């Protein structure tokens, strides 16, 4: 009786510094293939697929935005364009208090959809 291989988390990039994606795959090669499909690019343009064992527990996905933020991923507030990351501060030097709503991360509660209604 064979068991299917466990899904492992990978962060896949076309080029360093460009937008990447997180995928869950049984192997490095499968992660590259899945990442290329998700990014809508050719497999041979993938520069790297990094193992992200801290996200394995979220298989088959997606990784919660709060976990990505905690791990250091950057987001952009869709309301004002403020870069949001763990430890980020506003223009006055105050720590940001990000709000997650749906599939978006906002820099503060005032910019989240509930506050805009």
**Total structural domains in the chain?**
2
Domain of residue 52, residue span = 8-63
Whether 54 and 81 share a structural domain:
no
Q: 88 near 106, Cβ under 8 Å?
A: no
Say if 2 falls within a structural domain.
Answer: no
Say if 19 falls within a structural domain.
Answer: yes
Say if 3 falls within a structural domain.
Answer: no
**Global model pTM greater than 0.95:** no
Confidence at residue 87, expressed as pLDDT on a 0 to 100 scale: 87
Q: What would the 3-class secondary structure string for 19-83 be? A: CEEEEEECCHHHHHHHHHHHHCCCHHHCCEEEECHHHHHHCCCCCCHHHHHHHCCCEECCCCCCE
Whether 55 and 87 share a structural domain:
no
Q: 79 near 107, Cβ under 8 Å?
A: yes
Confidence at residue 18, expressed as pLDDT on a 0 to 100 scale: 74
Nearest CA to 51 out of 77, 69, 79, 31 is that of 31
Say if 1 falls within a structural domain.
Answer: no
**Which pLDDT tens digits describe the chain residue by residue (117 residues)?**
445 569 999 999 987 667 789 999 999 999 999 999 999 999 999 999 999 999 999 999 999 999 999 998 999 999 999 999 988 888 899 999 999 999 999 999 999 986 554
Say if 47 falls within a structural domain.
Answer: yes
């Amino acid at each position: 009786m064979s068991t299917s291989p466990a899904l492992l988390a990978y962060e896949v990039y076309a080029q360093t510094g460009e937008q990447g994606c997180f995928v869950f795959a049984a192997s490095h090669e499968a992660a590259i293939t899945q990442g290329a499909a998700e990014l809508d690019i050719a497999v041979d343009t993938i520069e790297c697929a990094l193992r992200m064992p801290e996200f394995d527990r979220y298989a088959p996905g997606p990784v919660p935005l709060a976990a990505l933020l905690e791990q250091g991923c950057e987001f952009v507030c869709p309301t004002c364009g403020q870069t949001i990351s763990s430890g980020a501060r506003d223009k006055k030097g105050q720590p940001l208090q990000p709000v997650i709503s749906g599939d978006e991360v906002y820099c503060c509660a005032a910019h989240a959809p509930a506050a805009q209604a």
